[in-house]
Amino acid sequence: MAGVLDELTWRGLIAQSTDQEALKAELAAGPITYYCGFDPTAPSLHIGNLVQILTLRRLQLAGNSPIGVVGGATGLIGDPKMTGERTLNDPDVVAGWVERIREQIAPLLDFDGQFAARMVNNLEWTSEMTAIGLLRDVGKYFRMSTMLGRETVAARMASDQGLSYTEFSYQVLQAMDYRELRRRYGCILQTGGNDQWGNLVAGVELIRRADGVTAHALTTPLITKADGTKFGKTESGTVWLDPAMTSPYAFSLFWLNTDDRDVIGYLGVFTFRDQDEIADLAAEVAAHPERREAQRVLAGEVTALVHGEAARQGAIDAAQALFGRGELARLDEATLAAAVAGLPSAIVGESDPLVIDLFAASGLERGKGAARRTMAEGGLYVNNTKITDPDARLTPTDWLHGRFALLRRGRKTLAIATRATP
């Protein structure tokens, strides 16, 4: 079991650890119980959270028992951000988000067998504590100099906006979670992103001061992109785990678009491919980058992991259909809508529009004359059917699901025509 730290190391998943050699000894003597917390500050987790869920899974596969904490209490407060004070969400809203996030985490852990996972809500123990109890039983173990020295706290204190006592107290609540889990379940390791290091160490110190025992903390690096843009963001926004917020097609496309400079690292972090398999894919990227084999493996495996095999296949079918290698008519309306959501578009009000007009209106061609020239060269398609008649019009049967028509110029340039809602 201690070998799991070696695996986390070659996967690039260890940023900081309180005492890695001591933790390795605990794992060797194991099994151990460990946890990671997830705050419901939005209706869904995003792909950055996936790093922590999969780290829990890797430790479980190595023969240890995970606890997933969904922060019904800490989610009411919110961890301080560099950018300013959080808006406090209504308790009923947070309670609903707790259940949604539990459902996202649960399929990725094993809740049966010797190393069965647990899922808990920190509101269980926090809601019962009085203000006096928090100050006397927990607060007395914290030192203001240490709390004020946290990077985010110091930055916010120095800003014009400052920092409320509400958010300042967050680290106390998270540390209390760790102590409670140690007392209830014998938990001795907390994992988290590297931006949580101060909060994790606060829990380790609380356990040492209050209970006189050793606990451990381990953080993973924050995932970055080689081009300098933020990981997990697209032009349309955050990549969420909830399929209603980011469709499986858009989710898969995010991974397919991974830069060659990032894809091998992401395979280590987000898939369960072993070191030799990833090395083979690295060699493939170096020799034949145009094939994008590593990206296809990454997209397929992460999409199947989060959304299931059917969603993975659906994303593949949609991608092939868009570019003429599959049947557009076989795509259901929701999949097609998701697949074309980011394309240039033309809204059509008339019943039987000229095809030439659509290519001009969508921006695929600079005007009708350019569209006619491309058509004469055999380069215009509607719903993957080549258009050769400059007077061709769309008829009611041409609209997919009664409202879409896929426009393509050449092999790869796409747009969508959409019928205006009456």
Residues 277 and 370 in one domain: no
| CATH number (domain holding residue 407) | 3.10.290.10
Say how many Å lie between the first and final Cα of the chain, rounded: 63
- From 276, 303, 331, the end of a domain falls on 331
Cite the DSSP H helix spans in 106-192.
123-126, 131-137, 144-148, 151-157, 165-168, 170-185
Task: List Cβ<8 Å contacts ≥24 apart for 18-22.
Answer: 18/201, 18/204, 18/216, 18/217, 18/218, 19/216, 20/218, 22/214, 22/216
Identify the domain containing residue 310 by its residue range. 233-331
Residues 71 and 215 in one domain: yes
What's the CA gap between 220 and 152, in Å, rounded?
18
Q: What is the pLDDT of residue 422?
A: 61
What six digits make up the tokens of 38? 């997830």
DSSP calls for 45-73: -BHHHHHHHHHHHHHHHTT-EEEEEE-TT
- From 299, 331, 363, the end of a domain falls on 331
Q: What is the pLDDT of residue 2?
A: 54
Q: What is the pLDDT of residue 331?
A: 86
What CA–CA distances, in Å, run from 313 to 164, 279, 296, 301, 406?
Answer: 48, 25, 12, 11, 21
Residue 376 lies in a domain: yes
Q: What is the pLDDT of residue 21?
A: 95
Q: How far is CA 129 from the centre of its chain?
A: 33
What's the CA gap between 318 and 260, in Å, rounded?
23
Residues 35 and 101 in one domain: yes
Q: What is the pLDDT of residue 156?
A: 85
Residue 38 lies in a domain: yes
Residues 216 and 240 in one domain: no
Residues 110 and 157 in one domain: yes
Q: What is the pLDDT of residue 286?
A: 96
What six digits make up the tokens of 96? 């609903």
What six digits make up the tokens of 52? 């922590």
Q: What is the largest CA-CA distance in the chain?
A: 84
Residues 177 and 298 in one domain: no
* Amino acid present at 307: H
pTM value? 0.87
Residue 393 lies in a domain: yes
Residues 248 and 277 in one domain: yes
Residues 29 and 177 in one domain: yes
DSSP calls for 303-329: HHHHH-HHHHHHHHHHHHHHTTSS-GG
Residues 47 and 164 in one domain: yes
Per-residue pLDDT of the chain (422 residues), as tens digits, is: 459 999 999 999 999 999 999 999 999 998 999 999 999 999 999 999 999 999 999 999 999 999 999 999 999 988 888 888 888 899 999 999 999 999 999 999 999 999 999 999 999 999 999 999 999 999 999 998 888 888 888 888 888 888 888 989 999 999 999 999 999 999 999 999 999 999 999 999 999 999 999 999 999 999 999 988 889 887 778 999 999 999 898 899 899 999 999 999 999 999 999 999 999 999 999 999 999 999 999 999 999 999 999 999 988 888 888 887 878 888 888 888 888 887 888 898 877 899 999 999 999 999 999 999 999 999 999 999 999 999 999 998 999 998 899 999 998 899 999 988 76
How many other C-beta atoms are found inside a 10 Å radius of the C-beta of residue 268?
17
Specify the number of domains making up the chain.
3
- From 175, 194, 220, the end of a domain falls on 220
SS3 258: coil
